[in-house]
Amino acid sequence: MSIVIVDEFELFLKKHYTSKYTIKSYLSDAKEFVEKGYSFDKEGIRQFIFDLLDTEKSASTINRKLASLSVFFEFLKSRGVVDKNYVKLTEKPKNDKYLPAFLEVDEIVGLLENIKNLRDRALLELIYSSALRASEVLGLNVEDIDFDKLKIRVRRKGAKEMYIPISKRASDYLKAYINGRQEGPVFLNRYGKRLSDRSLRKIVKKYALKTIAKDISPHTLRHSRATHLLNSGMDLRLLQKFLGHNTIKATQIYTHLNLKQLAKVYDNSHPLSKDE
């Protein structure tokens, strides 16, 4: 269905727009949204924004993409695929200050502890423990894992490689899942090929809806880990290095999140916050 929708959207654009650049830009952004498996609702739009922010896209770039998606959602609305243009109903990032969604620690525990499939448990344990981007965990090869030193080699933007730590628990699940394999992609689909981005998103969404009744993306696990580390006292510069952010500005978004959460906890615990 998704492929057909994009093809129909291309015909729609060619009928209503004359600029080849506009058509190419709108179509490219719509394809990106569809191919990565975001849901056609407000939560899907929010996850799209979070993921772009995590790759350090500017607010202006994100808002340009959202303008494309607004046209796409108007098209979807005209076809009866959605009942509203959810792009228009979603808060847009301003000055790059847009707080990412995250899960509480007990929600993470509930999510992970209810995954019985070994591959999926190893996959989500690793994403959370090492705060990995989807591309980083999917690009991981068996040769990149050092079980003895509890670290993995990840490939980041700009062809950069770095070693980051993994938890003992994630390591144990990884070792059990790999089961002696010496090389090749770590996470495989049922055909023995490297797991795709779309499949990863479906896996995360499936377990989250089933266990904690939330529609999340792989990046939500990354955001959650970053938030939990900051709340535990990790230095911001160290967190920047751990997350692989090129600038401290991208990491500072978690300080805003941290302060917001602190204010919420304070308000809820204040003796005057409860009715007599």
The yes-or-no answer on residue 153 being catalytic is no
pLDDT of residue 50: 79
Residue at a domain's end among 78, 97, 127: 78
Do 9 and 27 meet the contact criterion of CB atoms below 8 Å apart? yes
| Residue carrying the six token digits 């950069």 | 160
- Known catalytic residue at 190: no
Q: Are 182 and 235 part of one and the same domain?
A: yes
pLDDT of residue 261: 54
Residue 96 lies in a domain: no
pLDDT of residue 129: 93
Catalytic residue, chosen from 156, 222, 223, 225, is 222
Could you tell me if residue 160 is inside a domain? Answer: yes
State mean pLDDT over 8-32: 91
Catalytic choice (36, 46, 133, 225):
133
Residue 264 reports pLDDT greater than 90: no
- C-alpha angle 202/245/229, rounded to 5°? 75
From the list 126, 234, 213, the residue with the least C-alpha distance to 174 is 126
- For residue 210, indicate whether it is catalytic: no
- When pLDDT is averaged across residues 210-216 and rounded to a whole number, the result is 90
Instruction: Judge whether 271 lies within some domain.
Output: no
Give the tokens for residue 245: 């952010």
Domain of residue 242, CATH code: 1.10.443.10
Co-location of 127 and 60 in the same domain:
no
- Same domain? 122 vs 252: yes
Of 36, 46, 219, 223, catalytic: 219
Of the candidates 79, 157, 198, 210, the residue annotated as catalytic is: 157
Q: Could you tell me if 30 and 136 lie in one domain?
A: no
| Residue 273 located in a structural domain | no
The whole-number pLDDT of residue 258 equals 56
Q: Whole-prediction pTM value? A: 0.64
Q: Most confidently modeled of 2-6, 91-95, 213-217? A: 213-217
The residue-averaged pLDDT of 194-213 equals 93
Write down the pLDDT at residue 221. 93
Q: What is the pLDDT of residue 276?
A: 38
The two tokens of residue 117 are 């499939």
Same domain (yes/no): 110, 221: yes
Tens digits of residue pLDDT in 218-259: 988 998 998 898 888 888 888 888 888 877 777 777 666 555
pLDDT at 255: 67
Residues 142 and 220 in one domain: yes
- One domain for residues 42 and 170: no
Q: How many Å is the maximal CA-CA distance in the chain?
A: 65
pLDDT at 266: 47
Tell me the residue range of the domain where 20 lies.
2-78
- The verdict on residue 157 lying in a domain is yes
Whether residue 254 lies in the annotated active site: yes
Residues 256 and 146 in one domain: yes
For residues 114 and 227, state if they share a domain: yes
Q: Give the closest residue to 76 by CA, choosing from 18, 34, 32, 48.
A: 34
User: Which pLDDT belongs to residue 273?
Assistant: 42
| 146 domain-assigned | yes
Single residue among 78, 93, 118 that ends a domain in this structure: 78
Q: What's the pLDDT score for residue 161?
A: 86
219 labelled catalytic: yes
**Whether residues 138 and 188 fall in one domain:** yes
How far is Cα 224 from Cα 216, in angstroms, rounded to an integer?
11
**CA distances (Å), origin 8, targets 16, 27, 85, 198, 253:** 12, 10, 18, 21, 38
Residue 98 counted as domain residue: no
Query: Mean pLDDT, to the nearest integer, of 26-46?
Result: 90
What digits encode the pLDDT tens for the residues 52-110?
877 767 778 888 999 999 999 999 999 999 999 999 998 887 754 555 678 889 999 99
The CATH number for 6's domain is 1.10.150.130
Count of structural domains within the chain = 2
Give the pLDDT band of residue 260 (cuts 50, 70, 90).
low
pLDDT, residue 61, reads: 87
How many whole angstroms separate alpha carbon 67 and alpha carbon 165?
39
Query: Is 157 noted as a catalytic residue in this protein?
Result: yes
- The pLDDT of 184-206, averaged and rounded, is 94
Which of 62, 78, 94 is at the close of a domain? 78
Q: What is the pLDDT of residue 58?
A: 76
Complete edge-to-edge strand list for the sheet that includes strand 160-165: 145-146, 151-156, 160-165
Q: How confident is the model at residue 191 (pLDDT cuts 50, 70, 90)?
A: very high
Q: Is the same domain home to 158 and 199?
A: yes
Asked if residue 9 belongs to a domain, the reply is yes
Encode pLDDT of 118-160 as tens digits: 999 999 999 999 999 888 999 999 999 999 999 999 987 666 7
Is the domain of 141 the same as that of 22? no
